[in-house]
Chain A
Amino acid sequence: DVVLTQSPLSLPVTLGQPASISCRSTQSLVHSDGNTYLGWLQQRPGQSPRRLIYKVSNRDSGVPDRFSGSGAGTDFTLKISRVEAEDVGVYYCMQGTNWRTFGQGTKVEIK
């Protein structure tokens, strides 16, 4: 099974400052069709998960452009350019290349 490891697991940030979350896979996430099925989801307190990013760097409709995804192969990153109060929550990376698995989650909170 593909295991995704996120770091850090807790991320206190100052409003207006950038934040970065890493996601590493135990195997390459490049699918035989050439795509890399790594995405990011946000789960605000008390809410369902919401997809932010798919196929490494594609933002979903309505997602602010302060969110960006990057990476390749086994190493991926979610960046928030300037954290806002509404960004508080848990962020998960998820891979769909081989079955579907999730990282452990990174809790983003305001300092």
Chain B
Amino acid sequence: EVQLVESGGDLVQPGGSLRLSCAASGFTFGAYWMAWLRQAPGKGLEFVAQINQDGSEKYSLDSVKGRFTISRDNAKNSLYLQMNSLRVEDTALYYCARDEGRSFPYWGRGTLVSVSS
């Protein structure tokens, strides 16, 4: 069974940093693109960043470029999102998802990031 478990969310002040992690199991992690998506409270879904199988290709939302960095460790079956210079508008539930066939068939339960002073 495919499982994706996010962690690392927290309450942080504007300008602060957080590192999100996603532990994957139940599939060959290194064979798939992976992605981070987010959902602000009461709002819709937004694609944040994606990374290819060996980490050589990365793409991210314009509003997070230069602030967020996606990475992975295939030996640890883990996906990461380093978030710097956080803004109030980054407040959201952050989901890890398997990016397959230009879609997301598997999602984690999410980890909550709150940016507030």
- Please list the residues of chain A having a beta carbon within 8 angstroms of any beta carbon in chain B: 31, 35, 37, 39, 41, 48-51, 54-55, 60, 92, 94, 96-97, 99-105
Known interface pairs A102-B45, A102-B47; A54-B107 also in contact (CB < 8 Å): no
Beta-carbon contact of A102 and B102 below 8 Å: no
Beta-carbon contact of B107 and A48 below 8 Å: yes
Chain A interface mostly:
loop
25 residue pairs bridging A and B, Cβ less than 8 Å apart: A31-B102, A35-B102, A37-B102, A39-B103, A41-B104, A48-B107, A48-B108, A48-B109, A49-B95, A49-B104, A51-B103, A51-B105, A54-B103, A60-B105, A92-B44, A94-B45, A96-B102, A97-B102, A100-B102, A102-B45, A102-B46, A102-B47, A103-B44, A104-B44, A105-B45
Question: What's the least CB distance linking B64 to chain A, in Å?
Answer: 13
Question: What's the least CB distance linking B40 to chain A, in Å?
Answer: 12
Q: Is B66 in contact with chain A by the CB < 8 A criterion?
A: no
- Residues from chain A with a CB closer than 8 A to the CB of B107 are 48-50
Beta-carbon contact of B103 and A96 below 8 Å: yes
